[in-house]
Structure 1
Amino acid sequence: MPRFDLPLAELETYSPTIAAPDDFDDFWAATLAESRAAGGAPVVVPVETPLTTIEAYDVTFPGFGGDPVKAWLLVPAGARHPLPAVVEFNGYGGGRGLPFERLGWASAGYAHLFMDTRGQGSMWGAGGETPDPHGTGPSSSGFMTRGIEDPADYYYRRVFTDAVRAVDAVRTLPQVDPARVAVAGGSQGGGIALAAAGLCDDLVAVLPDVPFLCHFERAVGLTDRDPYQEVVRYLSVHRGADERVFRTLSYFDGANLATRATAPALFSVALMDFTCPPSTVFAAFNRYGATDKAIEVYTHNDHEGGQAYQWQAQARFLRDRV
């Protein structure tokens, strides 16, 4: 598979101007205030699993507009609380699955909250359980163009708010030290983690792995893979809607949200990634607001990136900051 994007030396300095709307910060402040005002507290129920070294809990917390969002909480059995926590977000189309599918963070001594992505969970994996009760106007298949006519209606407004409220929720749990919370995720989950980084205060670390949802306008014109192709298909039908569509997307661009982040961050990028092109990842990394940041580069990988090697790097990075 050939490399198709900029050479690494150019990627390392690639920091494009990506316009953020004048009301960007006000938009997000109002969105989060509205959802927090809806109130509610997480409901945490122990679940029985075959695991003997990890305790599992079914969590339901209030997300966007107070909508119930599901998650799994895993903690080391018998651990002394409170623990540092990792809030993790999932890849595109997947759900929270089963509670024993992701054991790494809890096995490493963390409280691990894995958030269900609303409306997703039926493309791969073991399923999701969080509906998205909000309708949208015309859209193409998938989630990328749902509500794309207006940022107030856009699908990822709800998802990003869910992510912030997941951090809010985990900080209230007795198993968790609220001053030691990190966010993580791969692909879509990496893009959601970047959103949380830009919208949450006082995170100890951010771990976006081959992040999606960055530098939309370049991605849409550079790769022929889904999910970015969902936007192409929409625009091929809704001719002349480019300006309106990319204005909506600018409120949700990981490269814009990254500029507002202050927590230490470890990114990853794969130079043969046709799903999340390298320049889109570097656009977010180079614009990331904290000086304590690093990026792992996988020179001969597609969207799978570093996989277990990246998790190991994340574990080391986080250990040094908690």
Structure 2
Amino acid sequence: MTALTHDFPFDPTYGYTLDTLLAVPGPGGAPDDFDAFWRGRYEAARAVETRPELGPLVEERDGVRIFEVSYASVGGVRLGGWLALPVEGRAEHGFVIGHGYGGRDQAGPDVPLPLPRSAAILPCVRGMVERGLVDGVPSVSAEHVLHGIESRETYVIGECVADLWCAASALLELVPELGESVASGEGLGYLGESFGGGLGALALPWDERFAAGELTVPTFGNHPLRLTLDCIGSGAAVRAYRETHPEVVDVLRYFDAATAATRITKPVLVAAALFDPSVPPPGQFAVHNSLAGGGELTVLEAGHFDFPGKDAALAELAAAKGEFFGRVLK
């Protein structure tokens, strides 16, 4: 890898090489009730009547029509997002697509979808602009990532994972043929980047409706290590909070994407970066290295950073996603 020029007061490679990144473990020592905690959250989300409503057509491109959509999630909140439906014919595949911190204000670069003849829901999880704003939930990432962090029951990250499960329920209700496919053994695909990648790792182990996932530069991996590494992302806020609230480490054990990865046996493709000032690469690789099913890996030169050749790298990643889902979603 060619050294990237930057002006950060720290090294966004953190001194790791690809070989040493591939050796980064998860944190180990999951709480005894880790599985029971998450299964309980999942069951509560599945019990929600999501009452999805299809809004106006926003645009038509790349073989899909994109509509506004809204749905109910846990805690009685109602969230918005976008729904992509094939211009012609029935949907043969379905996707839930998470977003990074900061939310999304349109379907944007998540379309085109990884496979043709697909439908997808692109939700805005609670607190995230612009269609996920909820009273009392901060919309700024450094504040959002700390919301409710005092306990595992109130931490907003758990509710955001539930928002993804409820989005899947809404998608299956809005596109009945996908429900038929899931019932016959062909599941949904999940895609998420950064914040959405970490949420995806926490969501995938418990939801049998998902058959495969793709996580790009996923966050929340190996919190004990992550708390030792400087960064400019949401992890910096958690790191600062831990300095005056050391007890938060016990809460974070339940929200570690690398720990959750040890429970994921379905196919997962991880795109992890060698250089990333926002989500330290060791945490990203810890998620990949912990996958119970072995997982597949695409190595990126950098994440959360503009670099020469970035457009070509993103095109290669898009092709890798298409090849992966074309192979694993039957």
1:119 matched to 2:140? The reply is no
Q: 2-side partners of 1:140 and 1:57: how far apart? A: 26
Deviation of 1:69 after TM superposition, in Å, equals: 1.9
Change in CA separation of 1:62 and 1:5 when aligned onto 2, cut-off 3 Å: farther
Mapping for residues 148-297 of structure 1, pairs under 5 Å: 148-172=149-173, 173-174=175-176, 176=178, 177-178=181-182, 179-236=186-243, 239=244, 241-242=245-246, 244-291=247-294, 293-297=295-299
Q: Which has the higher contact order (CA 8 A, sep 6+)?
A: 2
Give the CA RMSD over aligned residues. 2.5
Q: Report if the CA contact (8 A) 2:51-2:72 is conserved.
A: yes
Which of 87, 98, 101 is the equivalent residue of 2:96? 87
Q: Report if the CA contact (8 A) 2:258-2:290 is conserved.
A: yes
Tell me what 1:75 maps to: 85
Tell me what 1:125 maps to: none
Deviation of 1:218 after TM superposition, in Å, equals: 1.2
Q: Write the letter of the residue equivalent to 1:297.
A: V
Tell me what 2:67 maps to: 57
Change in CA separation of 1:53 and 1:287 when aligned onto 2, cut-off 3 Å: closer
Deviation of 1:62 after TM superposition, in Å, equals: 2.2
Change in CA separation of 1:144 and 1:318 when aligned onto 2, cut-off 3 Å: same
Secondary structure, in 3 states, of the residue corresponding to 1:111?
strand
Deviation of 1:227 after TM superposition, in Å, equals: 1.1
Tell me what 2:134 maps to: 132
Q: 1-side partners of 2:242 and 2:210: how far apart? A: 37
Secondary structure, in 3 states, of the residue corresponding to 1:152?
coil
Q: 1-side partners of 2:232 and 2:261: how far apart? A: 24
Secondary structure, in 3 states, of the residue corresponding to 1:49?
strand
Deviation of 1:105 after TM superposition, in Å, equals: 0.3
Structure 1, unpaired ranges of 5+: 122-127
Q: How many residues align?
A: 306
Q: 2-side partners of 1:50 and 1:315: how far apart? A: 20
Q: Report if the CA contact (8 A) 1:164-1:199 is conserved.
A: no
Q: 2-side partners of 1:103 and 1:283: how far apart? A: 28
Which of 33, 49, 57 is the equivalent residue of 1:39? 49
Q: Report if the CA contact (8 A) 1:81-1:174 is conserved.
A: no
Identity of aligned residues (%): 24
1:258-310 Cα shifts (integer Å, max 9, x gaps): 1111210110111111222221112111111213x211112x32435843321
Q: Report if the CA contact (8 A) 1:86-1:113 is conserved.
A: yes
Q: Write the letter of the residue equivalent to 2:176.
A: P
Q: Write the letter of the residue equivalent to 2:290.
A: R
Deviation of 1:98 after TM superposition, in Å, equals: 2.5
Q: Report if the CA contact (8 A) 2:102-2:141 is conserved.
A: no
Q: Report if the CA contact (8 A) 2:59-2:67 is conserved.
A: no
Q: Write the letter of the residue equivalent to 1:83.
A: E
1:23 matched to 2:33? The reply is yes
Q: Report if the CA contact (8 A) 2:71-2:167 is conserved.
A: yes
Q: Write the letter of the residue equivalent to 1:85.
A: G
Q: Write the letter of the residue equivalent to 2:28.
A: I
Q: Write the letter of the residue equivalent to 1:294.
A: E
Change in CA separation of 1:185 and 1:51 when aligned onto 2, cut-off 3 Å: same
Secondary structure, in 3 states, of the residue corresponding to 2:42?
helix
Deviation of 1:140 after TM superposition, in Å, equals: 9.6
Q: Report if the CA contact (8 A) 1:43-1:60 is conserved.
A: yes
1:12-48 Cα shifts (integer Å, max 9, x gaps): 2322443322221221222222333343432223425
Q: 1-side partners of 2:137 and 2:81: how far apart? A: 23
Q: Report if the CA contact (8 A) 1:59-1:72 is conserved.
A: yes
Deviation of 1:312 after TM superposition, in Å, equals: 1.5
Q: 1-side partners of 2:153 and 2:121: how far apart? A: 27
Moved more, 81-90 or 4-13: 4-13
Secondary structure, in 3 states, of the residue corresponding to 1:119?
coil
TM-score normalized by structure 2? 0.84
1:158-212 Cα shifts (integer Å, max 9, x gaps): 1011111222222232253333310001111111221221221142211000111
